[in-house]
Chains A and B, each alone.
Chain A
């Protein structure tokens, strides 16, 4: 068994209005100095040993991310 984390982020050229709204809210709460916020998703998968890296990449590319608008990274967490 292994825990796998897939991070999905909007591509740099895609406007991220949610991240922008978060960035705009910070100074109103008194937090200064944050110049940009990008909002994405994190998936945690429990997989057994039969799931290889190639399959994980396919899972991320085919379902977890829409590669038209999002980039992803896949990493296995050390147990």
Chain B
């Protein structure tokens, strides 16, 4: 059985095609999901890709969170479906309450677009089992509101429970607290990160193929289930 990974497109989404391509590269069937869909078309996992959904009006992800498709996504997440939010997708998952904290304007105000080294710190989530603990990976980062913030207690909980999945190394690009690039929910099924693993799946088109491990990890998680 081929794993089916759904990729949501909102008005203003940019990276749905690359996310679908990454899922296919890893051996999954990529299923397009539309923001107005009322169901998830039988997929086994969902990627909420990057871009500027609804023009980032109000706050990044604040409107997308109420799109019809997010209802079933939130229900599926509660049942343990693997969900990956990338960049704007991470912002949407935070706004939806599937992940704690929020993303704010980069501390130096500039939009950051560069290849970024990350350290993989949690290798037990549905999206990170293919990595070695402490491995450093190189993936593109391109965001203007990528500063991760959370209340002190939330931050302590994330750190205490090992729920920081990816941390920036070689300099903090956006002022994220504790150099946090990506986190997971309490069960390790929902993961969100600002950098773009779907742009790093082939040395021909990206800085590395280091991002592919996230998609392989999800397929492993689905086959095991």
Report yes or no: B58 in contact with A63, Cβ–Cβ below 8 A.
Answer: yes
Task: Give chain A interface residues in 1-24, CB to chain B under 8 Å.
Answer: 10, 14-15, 17-18, 21
Expressed in whole angstroms, the minimum distance between the Cβ of A5 and any Cβ of chain B is: 16
Number of B positions contacting A (CB below 8 A): 20
CB-CB nearest in chain B for A21: B109
CA distance A14 to B94 in the complex (A): 16
Expressed in whole angstroms, the minimum distance between the Cβ of A73 and any Cβ of chain B is: 17
CA distance A66 to B31 in the complex (A): 31
Expressed in whole angstroms, the minimum distance between the Cβ of A31 and any Cβ of chain B is: 20
Report yes or no: A15 in contact with B104, Cβ–Cβ below 8 A.
Answer: yes
Expressed in whole angstroms, the minimum distance between the Cβ of B111 and any Cβ of chain A is: 13
Count of chain A to chain B residue pairs whose CB atoms are closer than 8 Å in the complex: 35
Report yes or no: B106 in contact with A17, Cβ–Cβ below 8 A.
Answer: yes
Q: Is A79 an interface residue (CB 8 A)?
A: no
Report yes or no: B105 in contact with A66, Cβ–Cβ below 8 A.
Answer: no
CA distance A11 to B95 in the complex (A): 17
Which residue of B66, B95, B101, B107 contacts A17 across the interface (Cβ within 8 Å)? B107
CA distance A10 to B107 in the complex (A): 14
Q: Is B223 an interface residue (CB 8 A)?
A: no
CA distance A10 to B147 in the complex (A): 14
Main secondary structure of the interface of B (DSSP, over half): loop
Q: Is A69 an interface residue (CB 8 A)?
A: yes
Task: Give chain B interface residues in 131-187, CB to chain A under 8 Å.
Answer: 147, 149-151, 175
A68 neighbours in B (Cβ, 8 Å): 94, 100-102, 149-151
Report yes or no: B104 in contact with A69, Cβ–Cβ below 8 A.
Answer: yes
Q: Is B59 an interface residue (CB 8 A)?
A: yes
Q: Is B108 an interface residue (CB 8 A)?
A: yes
Contact with B along A21-32 (1 / 0, CB 8 A): 100000000000
The chain A residues found within 8 Å of chain B, CB to CB, are 10, 14-15, 17-18, 21, 63-64, 66, 68-69
Known: A17-B109, A66-B95. 5 other contacts (CB 8 A): A15-B104, A66-B59, A68-B101, A69-B102, A69-B104
